[in-house]
Amino acid sequence: MTKSNAGGKLYYSISEVSRITGLEAYVLRYWEKEFDILRPKKNRGGNRTYTQKDIDIINRINYLRKKEKLTIDGTRKKLRMKKMSEAKTSATSSARTRTLIGQIRKDIEDLIEDFS
């Protein structure tokens, strides 16, 4: 279990995420406006509820901003490139899966024909 998920919670408040990431709440709210990928849900009371995935995104943004010294725009572009790369990998994997399923289907049809 990662340090940020040590409590095993499903949802975190903005103050908890602030403590976990070491970022001020106003920075988190600002990043929501700047990065489409960061969209925490809001509860009935209108309070933000962050998931572990949101925290991972925040940590990635923070790393790009602080360690790689990227601007907001540079960080946005880097995140888009990563997302496109993941989508391409996913599409390739999906195509391989469809091919495999097609082959299995053909093998089953051949077996049924052989035993008919």
pLDDT one-digit tens code per residue, 1-24? 344 455 678 999 999 999 999 999
Residues 51/11, Cβ–Cβ less than 8 Å: yes
Identify the structural domains of the chain with CATH numbers, from first to last: 3-115 (1.10.1660.10)
Instruction: Indicate left, alpha or beta for 63 from its phi (over 0: left) and psi (-120 to 50: alpha).
Output: alpha
User: pLDDT value at position 30?
Assistant: 97
Q: In sequence order, what are the residues at sequence separation of 6 or more whose Cβ sits closer than 8 angstroms to the Cβ of residue 5?
A: 52, 55
Give the per-residue pLDDT at 86: 65
The pTM (predicted TM-score) of the whole model is 0.66
CA atoms within 13 A on the CB side of 91: 6
Query: How confident is the model over 73-94, as pLDDT tens digits?
Result: 999 999 988 766 666 666 677 7
Q: What is the pLDDT confidence band of residue 97, given thresholds at 50, 70 and 90?
A: confident
- What is the rounded CA–CA span in Å between residue 34 and residue 31? 5
